[in-house]
Amino acid sequence: MPNYKTADHWARKAKEQGYAARSVFKLDEIHARFPVVPRGGAGICVDLGCYPGSWSKWLIERGMRVVGVDLKAPDLSGGTWIVASALEVTAEQLMEAAGGPIDLLVSDMAPNTTGNKFIDHVRQIELATRALDLARTVLTPGGAFVAKVFDGGDAPAFVRTVQTSFTEFKRLKPEATRDSSIEFFVAGRGIKRS
């Protein structure tokens, strides 16, 4: 029996199914364990850090209209792409591109890693915090959120902030995550308005 946790398995499976990256299976498992896509798939999603497009493609296949943000647009039809840094894109730009209420904001963003775990962690938490800040502004009441987090000293405080921002919350480490990875994901449903 093959070892389904190996990178080769997930990468090969992604390629076989027409996805650009193995990360699609992380979102698939997150949704299976803690559904974030609205029932019936109808709705609008913002995908921060959308390149190369696996998460966006998965969301589009489930009926969502996707607005993706990244420094490079994915080679994928069916979405609206904003070529910009997620640290610089505004809530107004997202809402204008969406043309309607945003039901879900997802972020699989990671910085270009340096090999210095502390610096990489701090930079990734900055991206995750930006995703949460945008979610708090653009999500429709009841909206959902998924974000990657690099574990480290600032992670517990960020996790608590996400947990208190939603009526339902889950911390997950999907099977498709490499064993050696320090990443995990947070997911929330039912955004709270302050």
Task: Cite the active site residues.
Answer: 148
CA distance 173 to 164: 20
3-state secondary structure of 149: strand
What single-letter DSSP state applies at residue 99? T
The closest of 84, 163, 157, 94 to 125, measured between CA atoms, is: 157
User: Backbone phi, then psi, for 122, in 5-degree steps?
Assistant: -60, -45
The closest of 92, 11, 81, 77 to 49, measured between CA atoms, is: 81
On whether the CB atoms of residues 112 and 72 are closer than 8 A, the answer is: no
CA distance 107 to 28: 14
3-state secondary structure of 85: coil
